[in-house]
Every structure is written in structure tokens, then in C-alpha cells.
């Protein structure tokens, strides 16, 4: 079903996924209006979108996701919300109260605004880290939504995303102020890559400092299935179409779906090499420090972080849970999304890799220009 004529709100609209989702909707749908809700609006992006897609009105709502008045104004007259905004933190740099406030309280307030303003469809961007891996590093290979798993989530980020996802799914069927019912679903993408991914750029910078050799943080056996940002955006659009379709609304509503694509299973470190190798980067055969030693060092750094917390905000560059995540085989299938709302990847692995590498080439040129200027 088309979203033609709909008014849509995208939270985190200027973020990595949000921008790709907005661009995809402007290309594929003839919406009446897309409302960009973000704490940090990028003026140049808004001007480009407003100038390029004149048939759809693009409006801006700048502010905090915890601002109830802002949320009510953004949702007034809208029929669909994509909630992609969240704080991401796997190093312990952000206070738990801030993570909870944005990821959980912000989601709750947005759902309340939807109910008050009669927004009938809500698509929530969850995370693979809601699934795990657990601190034991128990693997999952090609799992699905029914795969049993004992997950004890260590990251505060993971816990807040899980709580927000549960809020979203529990809101399925809530009665709106006009008497209609709210339909919700949650999408759990794998590790998202593509143009705009700051994590890939960070690994590239580490590689530059290491003489154009990427650091190995994960063993080759720790296979995961990263997903291209364009395919994640496409899955969001397909899920929204299903929620807006009276024939499929009850089937998709209230459900969680994993979002992957046909990127070959690969470790996180070897994935970084796959997209950066064409730019002249190598990769370490083995990590500089053996994983058991690195695990012990992470333990010591975490103890130091705990001891210093009353006096100093210290975040280690690596921790045990992050090391476990990097070293655990953890992959999932997208077949349920395919069955329920027709999701199939829009972009092949070859297309996704080329687009990502081309963007990284531009970023690499900028890094080298900055280095020359500094010298």
C-alpha cells in the first residue's frame, strides 16, 4: 500500500539512518509532508531536501525528544511516525539517567503524543543489541525471532533500547483520542553500515594511525551479518506500508522483526577490511594483544572506571562486554520480515560495498588533507 498523501514524522531525521529513510521516502512516495524532528538539525540537508523534492513538503521540528510540547506539535495531523532517534553508547561515556531519559522516557512521551494526536501507525527502530550477545558469548547462527536465548544485557544502551522496544510493542492496539487504534512494530537491524557511519570512519582513522593497517578487534570465526543502511531504510518503509494497509495491519502490528540483508557473514574486523581494502588498507592477522589478556585488561580498566566515578568521568576505550560482542558469532535471518510485510533487500552486497567504499574514499581524502594542513 502506498503512503501517498500521508503526513509522516521522522525522529532522528538528520541522523545516519534517519537521513537515508527520509531520502528514500522522498524518492519512492508522494507524501503530503515529512516532518524532520531532531535535536541537531543540519541546515544544509534541510535546504537540499526542500529544494529537490518540491512535491512533498519538508518541515523542521528542532528540539529534544523529551519536550512534550514539541512532540505534540510534530504529531498534530500526522498519520505515521518513524522513531529512529536514540542515544548510542557502548563505552559508558553517557550517564544512565541521560540514556534512559532519551531512549525510554522519550519513546514513552512520543507514544503518548501519538495517542493524543491520533497518529495511527508507529515504527520503532530497535537494535540487534537488544538480543545480545550475553556476557558468556553464547553464539547464534542464522537465528530468528523465535530463537531461544538467555540474554543478560550488560550495556546500559542495550537495556534502555529493550525497555523502549517493549513500550512500543505494548502500545499495540491502544485507543487513540478519536477512537481508532494505534498499530506499532519494532525493527531490530543488525550492525548498520554505509555512507555516514561514524564507526567505520573511526576504524579507518585508527588504521591510518597504524600505518594504513586496520586493527583486529574480532577473530575471523566471530561471524555476524552487517546490514546496509539503504536496506534498513527500505525495511522501515515496507513495514510502514504494511501498518497503513488494512489487510496487513493486524498481522504486522505488535511484532518485532530482525532486519538483515545478503551481506556475507563476516567478522566485524574483516568487514571493515572488506570496505577499506580497495583504498589501500591492510589488516592485522592477529590482534596486538591476545584476547584473554585483553579481557583481563578490560576488567582492570572497568575497575578503575568504577573507583574514579565519584571524582572523574573516565570511559575506557574498550570493555569486556564490547570485547564479547566483537568476538561472538551472532547472525539473524530476515525471513519473518519477508513473509509478513514483503521485505527483501533493495541493494545487493556489491552495490552496498561500492557505495560505502566510495564514500570512505571521500572521507579518507579529507583526513589526509587535514593531516597535510597540520604538518
Kind and range of the H or E element at 331? strand 330-332
Does the pLDDT of residue 211 top 90, yes or no? yes
Residues 6+ apart with CB under 8 A from 110: 11, 65, 71, 75, 81, 83
On the question of pLDDT at 1 being above 80, the answer is no
Check whether 271 has a pLDDT greater than 90. yes
pLDDT band at 51 (very low <50, low <70, confident <90, very high): confident
Transcribe 7-25 into DSSP letters.
EEEEETTTSHHHHHHHHHH
Higher-confidence residue of 345 and 308: namely 345
Q: Evaluate the omega torsion of the peptide bond into residue 91 and state whether it is cis, within 30 degrees of 0.
A: no
pLDDT single digits (tens) 235-254: 999 999 999 999 999 999 99
Query: For residue range 10-49, what is the model confidence (pLDDT) as tens digits?
Result: 999 999 999 999 999 999 999 999 999 999 999 999 998 8
Dist. CA 236–CA 20, nearest whole Å: 11
Asked whether 198 and 16 are in contact (CB, 8 A), the reply is yes
Residue 212, phi then psi, degrees to nearest 5: 65, 30
Question: What's residue 189's pLDDT?
Answer: 98
What is the rounded CA–CA span in Å between residue 202 and residue 226? 17
Let me know: does 177 contact 244? Beta carbons within 8 Å: no
Mean pLDDT of the region 221-234? 98
Neighbouring-strand partners of residue 10: 36, 82
Q: What is the pTM of this model?
A: 0.95
What's residue 288's pLDDT? 84
pLDDT for the residue numbered 282: 98
pLDDT of 313 over the 90 cut: no
Determine the average pLDDT of the residues in 60-65. 97
Residues facing residue 228 across a β-bridge: 193
Cell 538467555 found at: 150
Peptide bond into 133 cis (omega under 30): yes
- What is the model's pLDDT at position 64? 96
232 contacts 128 by C-beta, under 8 angstroms:
no
- CA trace torsion 305, 306, 310, 311 (10° rounding): -30
Which alpha helices (DSSP H) does the chain contain, by range? Answer: 16-28, 43-52, 68-75, 96-100, 106-116, 156-170, 198-209, 229-244, 249-252, 268-276, 291-308, 320-326, 335-341, 349-374
What integer best gives the mean pLDDT of the chain? 94
Q: Is 94 left (phi over 0), alpha (psi -120 to 50) or beta?
A: beta
In angstroms, the CA 359 to CA 275 distance is 10
For residue 316, pLDDT over 90 is answered with no
Q: Work out the average pLDDT over 347-364.
A: 98
Q: Which residue has the cell 579529507?
A: 366
Cell 514483503 found at: 342
φ/ψ (deg, to 5) at 321: -70, -40
Residues 6+ apart with CB under 8 A from 125: 12, 17, 82, 83, 84, 86, 186, 187, 189, 236
Cβ neighbors of 19 (< 8 A, separation 6 or more) are 13, 45, 196
Q: Which of 3.40.50.300, 3.40.50.720, 3.40.50.2000, 3.30.70.270 would CATH assign to domain 7-196+226-265+330-348?
A: 3.40.50.720
pLDDT band at 140; cut points 50, 70, 90:
very high
109 close to 61: Cβ distance less than 8 angstroms: no
Per-residue pLDDT, 368: 87
Active site residues per annotation = 157
Alpha-carbon distance of 343 to 176, in angstroms, equals 28
Task: Return the sign of the alpha-carbon dihedral for residues 305, 308, 310, 311.
Answer: negative
**Between 371 and 278, where is the model more confident?**
278
Amino acid at each position: 500500500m502506498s503512503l501517498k498523501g500521508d503526513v509522516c514524522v521522522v525522529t532522528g531525521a538528520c541522523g545516519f539512518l534517519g537521513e537515508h529513510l527520509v531520502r528514500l521516502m522522498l524518492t519512492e512516495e508522494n507524501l503530503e509532508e515529512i516532518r524532520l524532528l531532531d535535536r541537531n538539525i543540519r541546515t544544509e540537508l534541510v535546504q537540499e531536501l526542500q529544494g529537490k523534492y518540491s512535491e512533498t513538503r519538508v518541515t523542521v521540528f528542532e528540539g529534544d525528544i523529551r519536550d512534550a510540547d514539541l512532540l505534540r506539535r510534530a504529531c498534530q495531523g500526522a498519520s505515521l511516525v518513524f522513531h529512529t532517534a536514540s542515544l548510542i553508547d557502548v563505552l559508558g561515556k553517557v550517564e544512565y539517567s541521560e540514556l534512559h531519559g532519551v531512549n525510554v522516557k522519550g519513546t514513552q512521551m512520543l507514544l503518548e503524543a501519538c495517542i493524543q494526536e491520533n497518529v495511527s501507525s508507529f515504527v520503532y527502530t530497535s537494535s540487534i543489541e537488544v538480543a545480545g550477545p550475553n556476557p558468556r558469548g553464547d553464539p547464534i547462527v542464522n537465528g530468528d525471532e523465535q530463537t531461544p536465548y538467555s540474554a543478560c544485557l550488560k550495556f546500559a544502551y542495550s537495556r534502555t533500547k529493550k525497555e523502549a522496544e517493549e513500550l512500543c510493542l505494548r502500545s499495540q492496539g491502544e485507543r487513540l483520542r478519536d477512537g481508532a487504534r494505534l498499530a506499532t512494530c519494532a525493527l531490530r537491524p543488525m550492525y548498520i553500515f554505509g555512507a555516514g557511519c561514524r564507526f567505520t570512519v573511526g576504524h579507518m582513522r585508527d588504521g591510518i594511525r597504524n600505518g594504513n593497517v586496520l586493527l583486529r578487534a574480532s577473530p575471523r570465526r566471530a561471524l555476524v551479518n552487517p546490514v546496509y543502511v539503504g536496506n534498513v531504510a527500505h525495511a522501515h518503509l515496507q513495514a510502514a506500508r504494511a501498518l497503513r494497509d488494512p489487510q496487513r495491519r493486524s498481522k504486522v502490528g505488535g511484532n518485532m522483526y530482525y532486519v538483515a540483508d545478503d551481506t556475507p557473514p563476516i567478522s566485524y574486523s574483516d568487514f571493515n577490511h572488506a570496505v577499506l581494502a580497495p583504498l589501500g588498507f591492510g589488516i592485522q592477522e592477529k590482534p596486538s594483544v591476545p584476547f584473554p589478556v585483553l579481557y583481563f585488561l578490560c576488567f582492570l580498566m572497568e575497575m578503575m572506571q568504577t573507583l574514579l566515578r565519584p571524582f572523574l568521568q573516565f570511559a575506557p576505550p574498550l570493555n569486556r562486554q564490547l570485547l564479547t560482542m566483537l568476538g561472538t558469532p551472532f547472525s539473524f535471518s530476515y525471513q519473518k520480515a519477508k513473509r509478513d510485510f514483503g521485505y527483501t533487500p533493495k541493494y545487493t552486497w556489491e552495490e552496498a560495498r561500492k557505495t560505502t567504499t566510495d564514500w570512505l574514499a571521500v572521507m579518507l581524502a579529507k583526513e589526509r588533507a587535514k593531516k597535510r594542513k597540520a604538518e
